[in-house]
Amino acid sequence: MADVTILYMLGWGRSGGTLLGQLLGGLPGFVYAGEIGNAWAWSERAQCSCGAAGPMCPFWSRVFQRALGGWPDLERVLAAHGRWAKLRHTSPLLLGHRTGETEAYGDMLARVYGAVAETAGAQIVVDSTRRPPEGLLLLRRPGFDVRFLHLVRDPRAVAYSWSKRPKERPEGGRLPLHSPTTSTLHWVAWNMASEVIRRCRRGALLRYEDLVLEPGAQLRRVLRKLGLTAPADLEERVSRVPPGTAFHVLVGNPVRAAREPRPIEPDEEWRVRQPPHERVLIALATWPLLLRYGYARRSAPPDA
């Protein structure tokens, strides 16, 4: 098949990746596959957004059969994932450092992305994993073109989201919690790494707050910046969030399993419920990036 474009999201979790992925996945030529880089730990017990248990999902069964000859060897894959998906590997990989293990893991990831595109009959694979090292492992793979989309959200909103009562996973269990301190430290580290990659690779920046207010205009802007063509009826296509059954997403926010289309609404609960002292401390800890992304004065970021 023709070359595959991977639209790889960057940034820290709870920033609207599932929403963005579902909106993009509803466009012609796009397929939203969720957090491919995190699927290894869940592939045998995940509940696909289509409603099928992971191994019973016809889409993912065909993907793994085409890419790996069957369901992945989880012990081997998770070992490589655990070593090379860590944030500290971002700089070495960005500078071109490669080993036999990183190349083998990157080759396997590329086969999965290629199989996702082929199975879906799509040209552009949207991935919301947001692990900078894994995105870099996909560079310079023959037949693949990687575009980076850096998604960012106000760190105070993100910290509040991570500290709320965890959501139920469709396959059982709950999402993890992070304290405001842990979330803030991760927000800074992951966005700084994402910032470096985006600037080096000429990616695009998108704020969650802008996306929910102007989904059509914002998606048209970032697709143009990434050199991708937006359909003429983009605004109409992204007026509502498609149901989860329209996709095959193994891992991600439990909202991926929603059975009905839903309106696009900003989540501003944190402004009312987050303790004031937490907001102040998070703002102080993230002040340079708050300015950089336009949150200090609620203005647009410099390259928006």
pLDDT tens for the chain, 304 residues: list them.
Answer: 569 999 999 999 999 999 999 999 999 999 999 988 877 655 556 788 888 877 788 999 899 899 988 877 666 676 666 676 778 888 888 888 888 878 888 888 899 999 999 999 999 999 999 989 889 988 888 999 999 999 999 999 999 999 986 666 655 556 678 899 999 999 999 999 999 999 999 899 999 999 999 999 999 999 999 999 999 999 999 999 999 888 998 877 777 778 889 999 999 999 999 999 999 999 999 999 999 999 987 666 766 5
Cα distance between residue 202 and residue 139, in whole Å: 13
Cα distance between residue 120 and residue 183, in whole Å: 35
Pick the CATH number of 4-292 from 3.40.50.300, 3.40.50.1000, 3.40.50.360, 3.40.630.30: 3.40.50.300
Note the pLDDT of residue 47: 81
Note the pLDDT of residue 154: 98
Cα distance between residue 304 and residue 299, in whole Å: 10
**pTM as predicted:** 0.92
What lies within 8 Å, CB to CB, of 113 at 6+ separation is 4, 6, 36, 125, 127, 138, 144
Note the pLDDT of residue 75: 65
What lies within 8 Å, CB to CB, of 74 at 6+ separation is 40, 41, 43, 44
Cα distance between residue 67 and residue 113, in whole Å: 8
